[in-house]
Copies of this chain bind each other. A is one copy, B any other.
Amino acid sequence: MDGIHDLGGMAGFGTIAYEEDEPVFHEPWQATAFALNIVGIGVLRNHNADEYRHSIERMLPVHYLQACYYERVLTGAATLFVEKGLVDLDDLEARAGGSFPLAAPNADDPMVDLTPQPVARFKVGDRVGVKDIHPKGHTRVPRFCRGKTGTVLHVAPAFSFPDAAAHGGAFRKEHTYHVEFASTDLWSDAGSENESVVVDLWDSYLEAAAS
């Protein structure tokens, strides 16, 4: 989805807050929230990592920006525990003593039609174009590189295709590619010389481009 989570290149954000010698968790609840999600994925098999990422993406934009990372983790995991029926929202709110905002429901028709590519179609040095797709559901192709052309630096092994895995689609694996885009190709004449972004992209997001 073209959501608030897809932050790459969005302007208007301020200085990055940096904390010296930051602890792994600032508060015990953060560790618990993190662990609840890991257990939800790895032990309970309540959800997979793609569903989890998408559950966070479905948070209302203002909540997404207000929440710290672990509140996002908590919200996404809780949404999936509720959606899969393991817990009940009313029960959660009664226990919490207040409202428990969850992420919004999944979109109808979340996937766009991308031909599966079980065999790697590209090799190092190939010029590839990124399809200008706008799925309503989960996808891992950042908006900033859609419609852009880059160069393959590396061919990675085949991994589960996230757009399908997040929405109960047919399991499939595809190679991903480390594709380098010049900053000036991404941001036109507001980009910078001598800077590039390398995006890791599944095969079916791509098409061959003129070199």
A residues contacting B by CB (< 8 A) are 1-4, 9-14, 57-62, 64-66, 104, 107, 112-113, 131-136, 147, 187-191
Contact = CB atoms under 8 A, between A and B. Distances in A.
Contact of A65 (B58, B65, B107, B132): B65
8 contacts: A2-B10, A2-B11, A3-B10, A3-B11, A12-B60, A61-B65, A65-B65, A66-B66
B65 A62 contact: yes
Contacts of A14: 60, 104
Contacts of A191: 134
Given A60-B13, A104-B12, A132 B188 contact: yes
A69 to B, nearest CB: 14
B13 A187 contact: no
A65 B63 CA distance: 9
B187 A134 contact: yes
Given A13-B61, A134-B191, 6 more contacts: A12-B57, A12-B58, A12-B104, A113-B189, A132-B188, A133-B189
A1 B190 CA distance: 10
A78 B62 CA distance: 23
Contacts of A135: 190
A62 B57 contact: no
Contacts of A133: 188-190
A13 to B, nearest CB: 6
A134 B12 contact: no
